[in-house]
Amino acid sequence: MYSLNWSYAHSLPKSTAYFKYTPEDFQVNEFFNTPFSGAGEHILIKIEKKGLTTLEVIKSLAKLVNKPPRAIGYAGLKDKYALTTQWLSIHAPGEEIPGIEQISATGWRILEHTRHHKKLKPGFLAGNHFLVRLREVSDEKDLLERIGRIKEYGVPNYFGEQRFGRNINNLLKAEEMLVQGRKIKDRFLKGMYCSAARSWIYNLILSRRVSQQCWDIPLSGDVMQLHGSNSIFVVDSPDNELFKRIKDRDISPASPLPGKSKNKATDEALKLIEDIYADWQPWLTGLERYGLEEDWRANILHAEQLTCDIIENTAELTFSLPAGAYATAVLRELCLYQDKLS
């Protein structure tokens, strides 16, 4: 029922490789489109972490600065098994934290700090820069050929496996909550399980479109999403101008994250969605019961500034992705990788 074998846009990779021999093999650094204000009620700190989740760092930091965890904000969650940098905000109106630049604990340290007039929240982040090392690459030629195709066409914008938890535990918990009626008191966990359920159904719809070779082209009645925006519009009948805008990366066909107020799509696009929905009605009912509104996510993911250097069977990749996108969506189209840490 919970197969992670989603369809490949560029066929099954020929090469195998190892990923995350060490945390340094997966480096992630946040970036924002607008600078911080330099003044305001919130102290912003840039942290480097390794071997910890973002939430574990927040709990550690809260104790050290004598603040409740809810006073600390973040713009994105970062992988535990990686070397990452990210910004956190500490609500401290009219306060200074003496020696803040020296504050650290096992697994994390502060690199710099400033102030800002807003608490950091999911949605503020523009994206992430990645450095990824793939070791023991078995077919360098195939990997490099795929780099070229990905630069030109992009990859399906799948949610990564980590979205569904270790051994798909988040999906199992989502089923208990949405279908079996189990009560979850923790607000964060409820949100995480609902997100896992919606992401799962989105991936199934996208995988169907990939298998039918229509993930990156418009169908009649399709929903299109503007690049870098949540703005969407519905296409009655695709034309040449629409294909050009997709090629120019101005828009992308989109697939739904299910919830209330659904069925913006019509015609061919709606039929494809409803074919998937037919098998997940109890989940859809549960998501609506929890008040989730339908949202849309672009089908096409482009890795910007993608580079690849291969030395002695180790491929070092660098690229940038928008917030909410997964590096593993790119890697799965490059090779059959084995994760050594996660």
As annotated, the active-site residues are 79
| Burial class of residue 11 (count of CB atoms within 10 Å of its CB; 0-12, 13-18, 19+) | exposed
In this structure, the chain runs to a length of 342
263-278: burial string, b at 16+ Cβ within 10 Å, e else: ebbbeebbebbeebbe
- CA–CA dist 27, 34 (Å, integer): 22
DSSP string, 153-211: H-EE-PPPGGGG-GGGHHHHHHHHHHTS------HHHHHHHHHHHHHHHHHHHHHHHHH
Q: Which residues contact 307 (CB under 8 A, 6 or more apart)?
A: 317, 318, 319
Q: Which residues contact 153 (CB under 8 A, 6 or more apart)?
A: 9, 10, 216
Count of C-beta atoms within a 10 Å radius of residue 66 = 8
